Amino acid sequence: MPKLPVGKTEAQLDKIDLHSLLEGAGGWIVGHVHITRDVLEGLPDLAIISRRGVGYEKVDTIAAKELGKVVTIAAGGNDASVADQVIGMMISVGRRFQEAQKSMIKGEWGILVGTELFQKKVGIIGFGRTGRSLAQRLKGFEAQILVSSPRLTTQDIEDYNLLQSDLDTILRESDYISIHAPLTRETHHLIDAEALGKMKSSAILINTGRGGLVDDSALLHALENNQIRGAGLDVYESENDPSKKAITNSLLSLHNVIAAPHAGASTEEALQRTNMIAAKCAVDVILNRKPPKQCVIVDGRKL
């Protein structure tokens, strides 16, 4: 059975490692490694790249399709866990949990007054599976939910009692903003200095989507200068750009930031679901069947 080289995680594997580990394999259930055309060209037997998550920006999908391969994601496997994390971050930042605990450790038991999520105006940017799961949870808080998404349907608006909105309105009016858009050229730095400047000084920003959707440098400046109340972060630009590690570290040091290491999908339950979905997709393709439509990103086979 193939094993990772000593001292390396999957994300640290180079092309030589990958070719050695995957030679002759028909399926690859993959986490966070970058999958380039060079890697795929060296694996002629590989039929499917099955992501045990929902992001696929690290996979060269154009090359995969041209080379006759299939790329799938584990659709529906982790949206519940990420939505739970968003609610937790909203409450944690709003109620100043981190700041209060650090004060108590120092022996300072003064009460820090926070803010509620109850009946607040919440903006959701992007409305895929996670956005829908979040909207469902926000119903229990009697929140007014504003959504900006090209995927929003009339049925969504009725089912979740939403207000269809544009980005500018969400920025100006929301008490909480949660980002669930895919990372593309168009959405890179969707939340930049200009966008942050439009937000309420009492607003809280949550990013559990992808590093790069937010300009972390601009966010750091906004938080340090009290332009917004706080932030909940699970993703960072430094994940793909090590030169921005100092910015990430500065964000982590702030009293009004709740942070996690890209762990939104990492609950016991979500990992079981995504691993099972990814495995089933791989088996379907190896047996020359069609995997679930919602899981397929590209299918280069000539069936």
Structural domains in the chain, CATH included, are: 10-76+267-299 (3.40.50.720), 79-259 (3.40.50.720)
Q: For 73-108, what is each residue's pLDDT tens digit?
A: 999 999 999 999 999 999 999 999 999 999 999 999
239 classed as catalytic: yes
Phi, psi of 43 (to 5 degrees): -125, 70
Range in 173-177, 284-288, 299-303 with the lowest mean pLDDT: 299-303
Percent over 70 (pLDDT), the chain: 99
Whole-structure pTM value: 0.91
- Give 9's pLDDT tier (boundaries 50, 70, 90): confident
Q: For 232-261, what is each residue's pLDDT tens digit?
A: 999 999 998 999 999 999 999 999 999 999
- Mean pLDDT, the chain, whole residue set: 95
172 classed as catalytic: no
10 classed as catalytic: no
Catalytic residue among 137, 189, 221, 239: 239
- Give 15's pLDDT tier (boundaries 50, 70, 90): confident
The per-residue pLDDT for 32 is 83
Catalytic residue among 51, 129, 210, 229: 210
Q: What are 263-266's contacts with CB under 8 Å, separation 24+?
A: 263/85, 263/234, 264/78, 264/81, 264/82, 264/85, 264/86, 264/208, 264/234, 265/53, 265/54, 265/77, 265/78, 265/81, 265/82, 266/81
Q: Is the pLDDT of residue 121 over 80?
A: yes
Looking at residue 4, the DSSP 8-state letter turns out to be P
The sheet that has 27-30: what strands, in order across it? 27-30, 48-51, 70-72, 296-299
Q: For 169-182, what is each residue's pLDDT tens digit?
A: 999 999 999 999 99
Radius of gyration of the chain (CA): 21
Q: For 199-240, what is each residue's pLDDT tens digit?
A: 999 999 999 999 999 999 999 999 999 999 999 999 999 998
151-165 mean pLDDT: 94
Strands (E), the chain: 27-30, 48-51, 70-72, 121-125, 144-148, 162-164, 176-179, 204-207, 230-233, 257-259, 296-299
Of residues 19, 21, 66, 60, the one with CA closest to residue 42: 19
Q: How far apart are CA 277 and CA 59, in angstroms?
A: 18
- Give 303's pLDDT tier (boundaries 50, 70, 90): low
5-19 mean pLDDT: 83
**What is the helix (H) or strand (E) element at residue 196, kind and residue range?**
helix 193-198
Of residues 62, 66, 24, the one with CA closest to residue 45: 24
The per-residue pLDDT for 1 is 65
